[in-house]
Amino acid sequence: MGKRVGVLMGGWGEEREISLKTGEAVVAALESRGHSVSRIFAGPGLDRALRSAELDVAFLALHGRMGEDGKVQGLLELMGLPYTGSGVLASALAMNKPMAKKLFRLHNLPTPQGYRVGRADASRALELHGDLGFPCVVKPACGGSSVGLSVVRQPEALASAVALACRFGGEALVERMARGREVTVGILDEEVLGTCEIATPREGFDYDAKYKGGSRYFLPARLSPTRLANVESLALAAYRALGCRGYGRVDLICSEDENDVILEVNTLPGLTPVSLLPKIAAERGLDFPALVERILVLASRDEVDVAEAPLQVPAPAVVQRVAG
C-alpha cells in the first residue's frame, strides 16, 4: 500500500538547482511505485508546508547547507515525522568537513592533512599555510557538489581561492592534495553497494566536471580485488564513524603508492540522472525506482528516550535556625 510521501526539494543554498533535479527524479520514481507524492519546496514556512501536507514520511532531496547539515532533520524530529537519510548529528558532522576529519583521525582513518580558515583570515592564508605545500585543494568547510572548490598550484593564488570558498558558509578547508584515482563508494542499509571510479579531464572533481559532462566512470573501479576491498572497508568505517544511517556515498583518493585516503561522506548524495549512487546501484542490478523505494523503506527518526517528569516535585528542604 502506497504511502503519503513529501519530497523536500529546492532549499536555500547554492545547490538548489541540483536539489530540484534530484527531487523531480525522486517524485517520478515514487509515483511509479504507487505512492501518493507531494512536492515540498523547502524555504521559509517549511514547517507550515509540512503540517498542511499530512505526510507519512519525508523524502529528503535536499543538498548542502540548510538541508543536508542537520537543520531540516532537527525540524522533522520535532514534528515526529520519519525522514530519509542520516539523523541530526551525523548530518551536521558530515557536512562540517573539518569536524568530520577530526573524527576520521580519532578512528585511525586516513584523510589528507589540512586546516580551516575563516573569512576574516583569508588574507593571512599563506601565513597559516605553513609547510602544507602546493598544489593544495581549497573548498568550503561546509558544502557539497564541489561548489567553490579550487586546486591551487602557486602561493599567490591561495588567498583568492580561500576567499572564494568562504563565500559559501564563511569558512574554507585547505587540504594537501592527494594524487591518484578518484573513487566513490555507495552505501545502502549499512552495506557497501559498490564502487565507482571517476576520471576527469582536469584535476579536481569540481561542479562542472560533475554536472556538465566530460568525466568518465568505471564500474567497478579499476583496482585489484584486494585494493578494492580495502577502499570499501575504509568507506564503511568512515560512514559508521560519523553515525550515518540509511544510505550515503563516501569519496576517496587511491594513490599510485597504494595509500588510500578519505575525502568526505555525503549523507544525501545526488539522485539525478547523472548522479553516482544511481550508477552504482544500476551496476548491482538495482534500477532507479527500486533504489528510491529502498531508501524510502529505511526512513526513520532518531531513537531518543525522554524521561518523564515526576508526578510530584519534592518540596524544597526547610532550614531551621536555632536561636542561641
Considering only CA atoms, which of 100, 105, 49 is closest in space to residue 70? Answer: 100
Torsion of CA 84, 88, 91, 97, to 10 degrees: 180
Q: Which three cell numbers stand for residue 190?
A: 549499512
Residue 266, phi then psi, degrees to nearest 5: -105, 115
Active site residue 266: yes
Active site residue 54: no
Active site residue 108: no
Q: Residue 20 belongs to what H/E stretch?
A: helix 16-32
Question: Considering 69, 182, 251, 260, which one is annotated as catalytic?
Answer: 251
Question: Considering 181, 270, 275, 293, which one is annotated as catalytic?
Answer: 270
Question: Considering 19, 86, 145, 215, which one is annotated as catalytic?
Answer: 145
Q: What is the DSSP string of 41-69?
A: EESTTHHHHHHHHT-SEEEE---STTTSS
Active site residue 264: yes
Give the distance from CA 213 to its chain's centroid: 22
Question: Considering 14, 15, 171, 260, which one is annotated as catalytic?
Answer: 15
Question: Considering 77, 116, 119, 211, which one is annotated as catalytic?
Answer: 211
User: How far apart are the two ends of the chain, measured CA to CA in Å?
Assistant: 80
**Helical H segments across 46-124, by residue range:** 46-53, 71-79, 88-95, 97-106
CA angle 27, 28, 30 (to 5 degrees): 65
Question: Considering 96, 150, 266, 275, which one is annotated as catalytic?
Answer: 266
Q: Which three cell numbers stand for residue 274?
A: 547523472
- 8 A C-beta contact, residue 268 and residue 63: yes
Question: Considering 197, 264, 275, 293, which one is annotated as catalytic?
Answer: 264
Active site residue 251: yes
Residue 254, phi then psi, degrees to nearest 5: -110, 110
Q: Which three cell numbers stand for residue 130?
A: 605553513
Question: Considering 16, 181, 245, 249, which one is annotated as catalytic?
Answer: 249
Active site residue 216: no
State how far the alpha carbon of 276 is from the alpha carbons of 193, 231, 269, 298, 299, in Å.
Answer: 12, 17, 8, 20, 21
Active site residue 270: yes
- 8 A C-beta contact, residue 38 and residue 69: no
**Which residues form the catalytic set?**
15, 145, 211, 249, 251, 264, 266, 270
